[in-house]
Amino acid sequence: MSELNVVLERTLAGYATHANFWGVVVVGLGCESNQINTWLAHSSLREGDTLKVFNIQDTGGTRLTVEKGIALIQEMLPRANQVKREPCSAEHITIGLQCGGSDGYSGISANPALGAAVDLLVQHGGTAILSETPEIYGAEHLLTRRAVRPEVAQKLIDRIHWWENYTEINGGEMNNNPSPGNKAGGLTTILEKSLGAVAKGGTSNLQAVYEYAEPVNTHGFVYMDTPGYDPVSATGQVAGGANLICFTTGRGSAYGCAPSPSLKFSTNTALWKKQVEDMDLNCGEIVDNGVSIADMGQRIFDMILKAASGEPTKSEQHGYGQNEFVPWQVGAVM
């Protein structure tokens, strides 16, 4: 089986079993390489009350497929609507850490503040997933020194070497970063960008390293190997079990994520004023008003708890996130 199919199967399985879904309907074409029955077998899944599968070719075309899908969802809804919220520990929260449109303030405001919130979540038994391997390049030593075991550190180093080879055979290089938007925001090298990006992970021990979309079964601070492209990276984190996304930005982002709500934190006040409808919190107060990293981290942690309790994020209010399922297409697409 190709690496592309392995990653796709893992990603689909992660979404099909995600805690934020009550039920899932999976629709295939019928003759694709990723066959539904093969995927079910490889993922140890089976069709049941909360997982329905069928193919367009078997159903008889687009209109009949849409009608069948709607009917299956209507059949699921009565039981899904019986689910009620109930108090539970923060240990059930798993956040995916993202940064996009980074700027010169990212590493001194929003990113370390998010890191402080991560430390609080870990202290309460929760989990945080740091990712975007091309955007920690040059700062990986700050993570390996926190690894709980040598083999955990080695796995991260191995993924770095994989990326060096992957970019080389595709005519690129790991130093081909930051982006034009990052440069316009004041970042000049990948090292500057990486030092800021790593700050999102706080100071807790690195418990485990996962490949893309692998199930995250360890509590605490962990790492998942993903590309730096935000939708692809977040898709892997959600497939791994992230039920909330925390996204810092200095240039501005209107990103949303389903099924996991996305909280967005501006690194500077100018962005907050310009794009307040998309930002959930202004971390520029650290620079402008002397708010401490710890205090801002507490604010972020409080927002995480509120979002997990059902308070809509800005991106949810706009309806963002329905088109952000973007699995990683590793290697050549044929």
The answer on 76 and 97 residing in a single domain is no
The answer on 98 and 41 residing in a single domain is no
pTM above 0.85, yes or no: yes
| Cα separation values, 23 from 16, 17, 76, 184, Å | 8, 8, 7, 43
The answer on 119 and 42 residing in a single domain is no
The answer on 220 and 148 residing in a single domain is yes
The answer on 55 and 185 residing in a single domain is no
- Whether 326 is covered by a domain: the verdict is no
For residue 18, what pLDDT band results from cuts at 50, 70 and 90? very high
The answer on 184 and 229 residing in a single domain is yes
Number of domains composing the chain: 2
pLDDT in tens, 197-226: 999 999 999 999 999 999 999 999 999 999
pLDDT in tens, 145-159: 999 999 999 999 999
Q: Percent of the chain, pLDDT > 70? A: 95
The answer on 196 and 76 residing in a single domain is no
Q: Which residue has the higher pLDDT, 189 or 123?
A: 123
**Residue ending a domain, choose from 32, 62, 80:** 80
- Whether 259 is covered by a domain: the verdict is yes
- Whether 9 is covered by a domain: the verdict is no
Q: Which domain holds residue 70?
A: 23-80
Distance CA(174)–CA(132), nearest Å, equals 12
Distance CA(147)–CA(154), nearest Å, equals 9
Distance CA(325)–CA(53), nearest Å, equals 18
What mean pLDDT do residues 123-133 have?
Answer: 97
Distance CA(108)–CA(110), nearest Å, equals 7
Beta carbons within 10 angstroms of residue 267's beta carbon:
32
- Whether 298 is covered by a domain: the verdict is yes
pLDDT higher than 80, residue 175: no
